[in-house]
Amino acid sequence: MKLTKEQINDIKDQQSQENVTKRVTAPELEKVLYEAMPALDHGFIRVIDYMGDDSSIVQSARVSYGKGTKQVSTDSGLIKYLMRHWHSTPFEMCEIKYHVKLPIFIARQWIRHRTANVNEYSARYSILDKEFYLPDVRNLAAQSIANRQGRGDVIEGEQAKEVLELLKNDAERTYDNYETMLNQKFDGSTIDENKKGLARELARMNLTLNTYTQWYWKTDLLNLMNFLRLRADHHAQYEIRVYADIMMDTLKRWVPITYDAFMDYRVGGTEVSAKGKAIIQKLLKGEEINLEQSGLSKREWNELMEAFKITDKIV
């Protein structure tokens, strides 16, 4: 990830601010506020602003005047209770705003989480950066046979080189055409004084999806956790998972008590259906039960057995 001198100076200016506030702050999150944390080859995530902390959740749950109790253990117990019993509203009282630079194809996947306020870089107003995402060879994989939206074995050798060359050449060629249609280079210089440039809103349409875009993404804590539960999961696409992992660290810095409860009950826990619960109860009693008797599909059965590490019954 490369930042321009102007971007570096902007970040330094933001970080040098000293504001007095009566609001609660998260000291560990303050340490990385405005910092550009690298993601992929040219991307980054920055925490721009936030509101509230763990005590805000407790305060909201109790509808009290001040911060939570002076005993952290008591606040922790309440937050765990809220998380455990899916009492979600108090978590909506905290908000966070990120500045994200990411490839367009990841942005289109990300925006499917329709639970945030988003303002994206306007390619109608400005020229997009000449930066493209090119995967590391370790992340070039064939289509999975078992999963229609997943990856299979890693592509290696000459085929990997060929794929990377195609990605690079296509991105550079379409960007060159983009500049030609605009009649303007990325640095602002004009290509041909005798030609008119095509409108930016039209010229942008031939750019490849690995071109980088940027946006401000603001969401509340509840919806952030819902996003991370899906996108930081090992089943998620690698590229969006890179961003989610960075955001997981900011979550831990921001609301450490909530983070622990989230990791325990959402990330590390598992949901079990009524049929699944009955099956586990029978197995605990030493009763024999198999897929045919369970009333579950093969996929449901295997997911249940994997969740409880009952590997000898996976079919």
pLDDT confidence of residue 152: 73
Residue 43 pLDDT exceeds 90? yes
Render pLDDT for 143-158 as a digit per residue (tens, 0 to 9). Answer: 767 666 677 788 888 9
Residue 205 main-chain phi, psi, to 5 deg? -75, -15
pLDDT confidence of residue 315: 92
Q: Give the pLDDT band of residue 68 (cuts 50, 70, 90).
A: low
pLDDT confidence of residue 285: 95
Mean pLDDT across 26-55 = 97
| 219: β partners | 96
Q: Give the pLDDT band of residue 67 (cuts 50, 70, 90).
A: low
Average pLDDT of every residue of the chain? 92
Render pLDDT for 225-268 as a digit per residue (tens, 0 to 9). Answer: 999 999 999 889 999 999 999 999 999 999 999 999 999 999 99
| 151: β partners | 143
Of 5-9, 43-47, 173-177, 230-234, the one with minimum mean pLDDT is 5-9
* DSSP three-state, residue 46: strand
Selecting among 231, 253, 266, 299, the annotated active-site residue is: 231
Cα dihedral angle (219, 250, 267, 52), rounded to 10 degrees? -50
Q: Give the pLDDT band of residue 64 (cuts 50, 70, 90).
A: confident
pLDDT confidence of residue 292: 93
pTM: 0.91
Residue 71 pLDDT exceeds 90? no
Q: What beta strand segments (E) does the chain contain?
A: 37-39, 43-51, 95-103, 117-120, 141-143, 151-154, 212-220
Rounded distance, CA 61 to CA 162, Å?
Answer: 56
pLDDT confidence of residue 46: 97
pLDDT confidence of residue 39: 97
pLDDT confidence of residue 155: 84
Mean pLDDT across 274-299 = 94
pLDDT confidence of residue 2: 75
Render pLDDT for 164-195 as a digit per residue (tens, 0 to 9). Answer: 999 999 999 999 999 999 999 988 899 999 99
Rounded distance, CA 82 to CA 78, Å?
Answer: 6
Render pLDDT for 80-115 as a digit per residue (tens, 0 to 9). Answer: 999 999 999 999 999 999 999 999 999 999 999 999
231 is catalytic: yes
